[in-house]
Amino acid sequence: MLKIINLRAEVEGEEILKGINLEINAGEVHAIMGPNGSGKSTLAKVVAGHPAYEVTGGQVLYNGEDILEMDPDERAKLGIFLAFQYPVEVPGVSNSMLIRQGVNNIRKERGQDEFDPLEFEDYIREKLELVEMDERFLDRSVNEGFSGGEKKRNEILQLAAMQPKLALMDETDSGLDIDALRIVSSGINKIRNSENAFMLVTHYQRILNYITPDKVHVLMGGKIVKSGGKELALELEDKGYDWIVSDLMVNGEA
Amino acid sequence: MSKLSEAEAVEVAAAKKYKYGFKTNIEYEDFPKGLNEDIIREISKRKNEPDFMLEFRLKSFHNWLAMEEPEWPNLHYKKPNYNDIQYYSIPKKKPKLDSLDEVDPEILETYNKLGIPLQEQKMLAGVAVDAVFDSVSVATTFKEKLAEAGVIFCSISEAIQEHPELIKKYLGSVVPANDNFFATLNSAVFSDGSFCYVPKGVTCPMELSTYFRINNENSGQFERTLIIAEEGSSVSYLEGCTAPMFDTNQLHAAVVELVALDNAEIRYSTVQNWYPGDENGVGGIFNFVTKRGICRGVNSKISWTQVETGSAITWKYPSVILKGDNSIGEFYSVALTNDMQQADTGTKMIHLGKNTKSTIVSKGISAGKSQNSYRGLVKIGKKADGSRNYSVCDSMLIGDQCGAHTFPYIESNNSSSSVEHEATTSKIGEDQIFYLQQRGLDEEEAISLIINGFCKEVFKELPMEFAVEATKLLAIKLEGSVG
């Protein structure tokens, strides 16, 4: 589904991604781990098409098609979803207004009928239950005055509503208390199926107790330096990122 | 949820150019350029006015001669040459019509292009239309239904003929013949406009609406509107205008006067979309407007709602004099400037009566290289015990070459009153747009949604059709200005 080949990207002249290679197939969950500043979030944003990052080399293939020239909304319409680390506030725009327009744009792209307001209400109500959110959230302005946990749950609500093929979760677990983490994780687990794929960007192993990854990759200094199964995350939790550094030095790769 | 249909609200039209920039070919009668006593006598004569009107005009003209064009606004423009303006223009074939079928097809076509065909409007939702095409009223509809309710809604020229006692009593009673440079000029030379009188206890059975556009190059447009709501009556008036595209600057100096007596209510809504000039600031309308209402009676209410998107220069402060005890004044405004546009707009709330209340909600949006200023005065008089004002002025910047300015003036002479002012400035950020794009909205849709959210408090004050129109206008105006 997603194939990243030797991807390089910079922001304001500073190279952040220095040749990323990664392949994610339908039905898989990949965890991208790494210390602060390693380029994890950048990777998610570049795949989603954030305009602040300039791609200087490589390819991002989505179902075989290079998407690097596409606008963010075109990528979204193809089924790529980014759950933001810091969801943005949009004053005066109700949550349901945004989600309905987004969902309808995507449905239109897929050749499905757009929801009228009543159909949408039924549709979104189901999704609200997934993240244990109250209906009142729909009428509130997008993320405005939401607590950190509410914002993250709102991202999962949007994820559920948009039904993407590829979900990029950018530190969805950060700032969540244990209850919120449980709700968010169980939401993701319910959405997960054999036809979609997840890239979980995270600093901590914690969320992986709830969501079992198929693969774990360690990103450091703009490159994936180690990949493995779910046990790699536990090892990291146990030994810290420094362990990888010394391990790499021993192998002469750093 | 908002009152707007969201699908409508974010619809973005495809046209990049000024959408209503076309000109209709209609022959105009010649009238000499320039301004002097003879010209004024000639205007009054052609309009077959009674003597008191000629006196009003002449008095205004002499006042005007002694006045200076104001320089305090935050506006930069080349002052018009007032002797190079044609102060009266009238389509040659002056229609005297019983039905729309008799209207010059070209004029009807103009309305069709604007998407506001009279024919359709007749059928739609009971909106009465007094169509002002340049200086002469072309068609007036729904008169009969209004007449049944006792509401007089006609051109001001007609009112001068038919209801001179009302004109004598109220014209110039809110904006006097020596008020300010532009208003006084208008008082001397006004061509036509609308008149509305709602008798005691009557709720006007429909929203009143006037669409008008400037169509004769260099003709100038001096619109005069007077609305009177008698005791216990209420009326809602919609004004919307667009103008065709051409190169020389056009002066527009309108005056609107509103009078609300005891327990009366007037709502006045405007969507303004005069030609703003091109992206280099060439051409465009100079819009110097004096709008003022007086809550003369107790418990009366006047509410101004405006969406200002056009004109090269906008100078406009719809105001309310709160004279009656417990009267209420409101001002809801969205002012959008793009490219080289300049706007200096706001309101004045003059509290004279006891327990008077005013609310000011101003939303300024600046894009391109434009300058957008809010200027507002809240004045609490000595006797205005227990009066209250609440003002909020929000500015939004798009890009980094535009400017937003706020000039709030507060004069309080009564310690039992309260005045509250809040102001914010924000910027549409890359992150905000990216977020919405990531949710499947294209860039134009994203900007439109953000702007609509920003303006929501004002849009909800507009009648539904106007709100939709206003929303579309903002989207069109901002096309290509972000990114």
Distance between CA atoms of residues B169 and B159, nearest Å: 12
pLDDT band at B248 (very low <50, low <70, confident <90, very high): low
Give this prediction's pTM: 0.80
pLDDT band at A10 (very low <50, low <70, confident <90, very high): very high
Among A58-62, B146-150, B269-273, B281-285, top mean pLDDT goes to A58-62
A145 touches chain B (CB under 8 A): no
DSSP B365-427: EE-TT-EEEEEEEEEE-TT-TT-EEEEEEEEEE-SSS-EEEEEEEEEE--TT-EEEEEEEEEE
Q: Give the mean pLDDT of A40-49.
A: 96
Cβ of A84 and B436 within 8 Å? no
What pLDDT, on the 0 to 100 scale, is given for residue B264?
98
Checking if the pLDDT of B118 tops 70, the result is: no
B286 touches chain A (CB under 8 A): no
B455 touches chain A (CB under 8 A): yes
| Among the partner residues A71, A87, A92, nearest to B437 by beta-carbon distance | A71
pLDDT band at B249 (very low <50, low <70, confident <90, very high): low
DSSP chain A: -EEEEEEEEEETTEEEEEEEEEEE-TT-EEEEE--TTSSHHHHHHHHHT-TT-EEEEEEEEETTEE-TTS-HHHHHHHTEEEE-SSPPPEEEEEHHHHHHHHHHHHHHHTTPPPPPHHHHHHHHHHHHHHTT--THHHHSEETTT--HHHHHHHHHHHHHHH--SEEEEESTTTT--HHHHHHHHHHHHHH--TT-EEEEEES-SGGGGTS--SEEEEEETTEEEEEE-HHHHHHHHHH-HHHHHHHHHHHT--
Task: State how far residue B270 is from chain A, nearest Cα, in angstroms.
Answer: 22
Residues 216-235, chain A, touching B (beta carbon < 8 A): none
Which of A145-149, A170-174, B7-11, B116-120 is the least confident region?
A: B7-11
∠ at Cα B92 (B89, B97), nearest 5°?
105
More confident residue, A235 or B266: B266
What pLDDT, on the 0 to 100 scale, is given for residue B59?
95
B432 touches chain A (CB under 8 A): yes
B436 touches chain A (CB under 8 A): yes
| Among the partner residues A92, A97, A162, nearest to B6 by beta-carbon distance | A97
Task: State how far residue A247 is from chain B, nearest Cα, in angstroms.
Answer: 38
Nearest C-alpha in B relative to A102: B440
- The tens digit of pLDDT for each residue in A66-106 reads 999 999 999 999 999 999 999 999 999 999 999 999 999 99
Contacts of residue B50, Cβ cutoff 8 Å, sequence gap at least 6: B160, B164
Cβ of A71 and B443 within 8 Å? yes
Kindly state the DSSP code that residue B357 receives in the 8-state scheme. E
More confident residue, B284 or A125: A125
Cβ of B449 and A97 within 8 Å? yes
- The tens digit of pLDDT for each residue in A119-137 reads 999 999 999 998 889 999 9
What pLDDT, on the 0 to 100 scale, is given for residue A217?
96
Checking if the pLDDT of B238 tops 80, the result is: yes
Percent of chain A whose predicted confidence (pLDDT) is above 90: 81
Which of A68-72, A203-207, A250-254, B19-23 is the least confident region?
A: B19-23
What pLDDT, on the 0 to 100 scale, is given for residue B197?
96
What pLDDT, on the 0 to 100 scale, is given for residue B429?
79
Q: Give the mean pLDDT of A216-224.
A: 94
Residue of B8, B395, B439 to mutate, interface with A, max A Cβ within 10 Å: B439
Q: Give the mean pLDDT of A28-43.
A: 94
Cβ of A88 and B438 within 8 Å? no
Cβ of A72 and B1 within 8 Å? no
Distance between CA atoms of residues B253 and B240, nearest Å: 15
Q: Give the mean pLDDT of B271-287.
A: 83
Q: Give the mean pLDDT of B376-402.
A: 94
pLDDT band at B117 (very low <50, low <70, confident <90, very high): very low
Q: Give the mean pLDDT of B201-224.
A: 67
Q: Give the mean pLDDT of B3-11.
A: 33
pLDDT band at A31 (very low <50, low <70, confident <90, very high): very high
Nearest C-alpha in B relative to A160: B439
CA dihedral of A101, A106, A110, A113, whole degrees rounded to 10 = -20
More confident residue, B248 or B87: B87
The structural domains of chain A, with segments of one domain joined by +, span 2-250
Distance between CA atoms of residues B254 and B223, nearest Å: 5
| Among the partner residues B1, B429, B449, nearest to A98 by beta-carbon distance | B449
Task: State how far residue B476 is from chain A, nearest Cα, in angstroms.
Answer: 19
Q: Give the mean pLDDT of B451-464.
A: 88
The structural domains of chain B, with segments of one domain joined by +, span 135-477
Cβ of A141 and B453 within 8 Å? yes
Percent of chain B whose predicted confidence (pLDDT) is above 90: 52
Residue of A90, A99, A143 to mutate, interface with B, max B Cβ within 10 Å: A90
Here the tokens at position A94 are: 């109700």
Is residue B321 a contact partner of residue B292, using CB atoms and an 8 Å limit? yes
What pLDDT, on the 0 to 100 scale, is given for residue B125?
28
Average pLDDT, chain A: 93
A106 touches chain B (CB under 8 A): yes
What's domain A2-250's superfamily in CATH? Answer: P-loop containing nucleotide triphosphate hydrolases (3.40.50.300)
Checking if the pLDDT of B94 tops 60, the result is: no
Checking if the pLDDT of A170 tops 80, the result is: yes
More confident residue, B224 or B141: B224
